């Protein structure tokens, strides 16, 4: 049809009907997929309540950038790591309200957070400095309870009654655990502290989501400690590996006791492992066998989300990036290139092998592309997403 040429009423009706059918088809196709994402958005502060304060005022560049990234990518389910949590979830509610604001707002009617080990006092000297009140003496490193915790936002309801948390699992109770030790072979920092050390530096969550057709999708969420800042005992390096290896062991069929008092193995329903795991498969600090065990788990598939921005950043920044073996398009974090680790793949969304993945990516815009500056201002990490067909 030539632009501006009038149509007969019958032809106009057929055109409108065709447009309506195409619109309904597109809506149905969109409804049959689910976008799941993880994002270390840098929403952490040096004191309790400061994030809530900052979310209540004019957003700074970092908060504004995180909001813009999430509104642009529009996940249906989003895990936030590096998010200061509070007992009543006020900071998460404030962040959700911010996301819903304006013409490009996105509404998340379902929100979830739970206690984490970060900053939670242990009453023990866990770092061997002779005192039991430092930031490293919590069950996980943190300046206050909930510091740099985790939270989830969703357009679909969480099945909180079936939620499982493994924050209280003792490290020594993980099969094959390699605990830190003194050079003389004695437990580190003391036998008493070593016996009580918890595995999770933040948390390990098995969080079910109710799907539109009545099924369930389990989110297996965690944020292991970075494998850095160690002494000769190698505590963080070993802990990072075993925090990652927990999921491989769980998915392999091992039954673990959870914080709710239930001992059970992995769910039969589809699962997705996600979070900032703080370990690249081939580069950077840390031990490789934990992340290898997870990526090679027969229960999962690695669709290798990628970006053009990550590829260009490594080429432009050089430094450590020139020695990396992981393809730079897979990188998810932009770290110091000279005297640092360079850019690494540390954030993951790993779907069940039984799920059909229809799309995946890392939101890392190339220089000059829309939202490139906002993504950089928000965090050193980039949002990672996958689209899956509803089971």
Take residue 193 and report the two structure tokens written for it: 């502290």
Q: Please report the pLDDT score of residue 15 as a whole number.
A: 35
pLDDT band at 129 (very low <50, low <70, confident <90, very high): confident
Q: How far apart are CA 122 and CA 170, in angstroms?
A: 13
Question: Given this model, what pLDDT does residue 25 score?
Answer: 32
216 pLDDT exceeds 50? yes
Given a cut of 80, is residue 308 above it in pLDDT?
A: yes
pLDDT at 94 (0 to 100): 98
Element (H, E) at 220: strand 216-222
- pLDDT band of 31, cuts 50, 70, 90: low
Instruction: Report the candidate in 72, 112, 95 with the shortest Cα–Cα distance to residue 385.
Output: 72
Q: Please provide the size of the chain in residues.
A: 391
Averaged over 19-37, what is the pLDDT? 56
Lowest mean pLDDT among 1-15, 40-54, 96-110, 241-255: 1-15
pTM higher than the cut 0.95: no
Q: Cα–Cα distance between 83 and 303 in angstroms, integer?
A: 26
Whether 2 shows a pLDDT value over 50: the answer reads: no
The domain ranges of the chain are: 33-389
Just give the CATH number of 33-389: 3.60.10.10
Alpha helices in 257-379 (DSSP H): 289-295, 308-317, 372-378
Average pLDDT over residues 18-46: 68
What value does the mean pLDDT of the chain take?
Answer: 92
**Beta bridge mates, 165:** 205
Q: Which residue in 98, 106, 105 sits closest to 55, CA to CA?
A: 98
pLDDT at 12: 36
Instruction: Note whether 337 and 317 are within 8 A (CB).
Output: yes
Minimum mean pLDDT among 29-38, 154-163, 273-282, 375-384: which range? 29-38
Judged against a pLDDT cut of 70, whether residue 182 lies above it is answered with yes
């Amino acid at each position: 049809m030539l632009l501006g040429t009038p149509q007969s009423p019958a032809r106009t009706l057929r055109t409108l009907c065709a447009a309506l059918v195409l619109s309904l088809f597109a809506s149905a196709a969109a409804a049959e997929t689910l976008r799941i994402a993880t994002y270390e958005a840098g929403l952490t502060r040096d004191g309790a309540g400061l994030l809530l304060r900052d979310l209540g005022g004019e957003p700074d560049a970092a908060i504004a950038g995180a909001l813009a990234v999430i509104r642009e990518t529009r996940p249906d389910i989003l895990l936030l790591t590096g998010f200061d949590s509070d007992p009543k979830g006020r900071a998460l509610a404030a962040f959700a309200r911010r996301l819903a604001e304006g013409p490009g707002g996105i509404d998340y009617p379902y929100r979830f957070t739970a206690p984490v080990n970060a900053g939670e006092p242990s009453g023990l000297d866990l770092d061997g400095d002779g005192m039991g009140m430092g930031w490293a003496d919590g069950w996980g490193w943190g300046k206050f309870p909930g510091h740099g915790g985790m939270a989830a936002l969703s357009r679909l309801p969480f099945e909180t009654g079936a939620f499982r948390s493994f924050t209280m699992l003792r490290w020594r109770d993980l099969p094959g655990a390699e605990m830190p030790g003194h050079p003389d072979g004695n437990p580190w920092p003391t036998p008493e502290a070593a016996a009580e050390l918890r595995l999770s530096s933040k948390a390990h969550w098995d969080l079910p989501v109710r799907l539109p057709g009545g099924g369930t999708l389990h989110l297996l969420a965690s944020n292991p400690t970075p494998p850095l800042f160690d002494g000769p005992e190698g505590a963080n390096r070993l802990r990072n590996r075993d925090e990652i290896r927990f999921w491989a062991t769980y998915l392999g069929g091992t039954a673990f006791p959870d914080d709710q008092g239930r001992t059970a193995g992995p769910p039969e329903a589809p699962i997705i492992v996600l979070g900032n795991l703080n370990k690249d498969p081939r580069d950077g600090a840390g031990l490789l066998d934990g992340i290898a065990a997870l990526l090679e788990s027969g229960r999962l598939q690695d669709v290798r989300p990628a970006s053009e921005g990550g590829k260009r950043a490594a080429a432009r920044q050089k430094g450590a990036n020139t020695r990396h073996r992981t393809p730079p398009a897979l990188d998810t974090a932009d770290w110091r290139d000279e005297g640092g680790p360079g850019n690494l793949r540390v954030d993951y969304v790993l779907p069940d092998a039984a799920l059909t993945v229809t799309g995946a990516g890392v939101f890392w815009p190339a220089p000059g592309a829309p939202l490139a500056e906002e993504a950089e201002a928000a965090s050193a990490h980039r949002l990672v997403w996958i689209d899956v067909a509803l089971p």
